[in-house]
Amino acid sequence: MDSKTLMYILKRIVLAVVTIWAVITITFFVMKAVPGDPFASEKAVTPAARAALEAKYGLDKPIFEQYLNYLTGALHFDFGPSLKLRGRDVTAIIFDGMKTSARLGLTALVIATVTGIILGAVAALRRNSIIDKIIMVLTTAFVSMPSFIMGTLLLILFAIHLKVLPANGATEGGLILPVITLSLYPMAYITRLTRSSMLDVLGQDYIRTAKAKGVSERNIIIKHALKNSLIPVITYFGPELAYIVTGSLVVEQIFAVPGVGRYFVSSITGRDYPLIMGTTIVLASLIVVMNLLSDIMYKIVDPRINLE
């Protein structure tokens, strides 16, 4: 790694830190801008009780001090108590839901990436064949379908009409449909990405050289073509994770999966502000960090690339 790459990585890390800070700041002040206070929904709070509550949550302090407190809390993963789920800390709720969500998200991520690469490579190697055309038509359709529609259509087909898979995400095998729903879009995207970059690579001079040297077709595909055509796929890891995180918000809702996404959506409708803030910050940081990693990986894998 030369100094230029290191400089780049450093710059990206600084940008990521600034972004996470921006997320925390925006969420904090945006939430403070909401009219009324968090206790407005309580039934007839006496002024004394309200003052006590405000003192307990530090809401009587000047706003800037509250902000600093929240910022230091957020750095320690302390987002305060939830307003609606009594007696539970936002952090505990998030980590609780994260177990299921992470399982769902990671499985979808792996499945989408692996099948996407395989399908993309097959489509590129059999260019213009009937297989290629079928793959391209299907992926175009998947890319144009919002995840909530995909999810509900799968739900209707497999859980209601065919009755082969459970509709409830909390039951045995219940994560199968959510995983499929979440992985279809990124899979289609990766397929198209791999196909076009593979076609690009297959036209390169070094592939012809390898062929002329008498390297077997299998070796050419695996060692030269596939390896090089995976570089653009790396950059997609960040956006892919972002898609899966936001997609899981609705997918968990549809299939009743007890994950972070469901808490997030229900916290919005229930106006549980600390929970909204906490989940936004955690999920956003996750996406920012993943984007950072995939950009750095990209730069290391192919130092020729100038990302400026």
Catalog residues that contact another protein under the rule CB under 8 A: 15-16, 18-19, 22-23, 26-27, 30-31, 33-36, 140-141, 143-146, 148-149, 152-153, 155-156, 160, 242, 245-246, 249-250, 253-254, 264-265, 268-269, 276, 280, 283-284, 287-288, 291
φ and ψ at 89, to 5 degrees? -85, 145
Give the burial class of 209: count Cβ atoms within 10 A of its Cβ; 0-12 exposed, 13-18 middle, 19 or more buried: exposed
- Evaluate whether 185 touches 142 at the Cβ level (below 8 Å): yes
Beta bridge partners of 81: 89
The residue behind tokens 């994950």 is 259
DSSP code at position 2 = -
- Evaluate whether 84 touches 274 at the Cβ level (below 8 Å): no
Chain centre to alpha carbon of residue 81: 25
- If you write DSSP's letter for every residue of 93-144 in order, what string do you get? HHHHHHHHHHHHHHHHHHHHHHHHHHHHHHHHHTTTSHHHHHHHHHHHHHHT
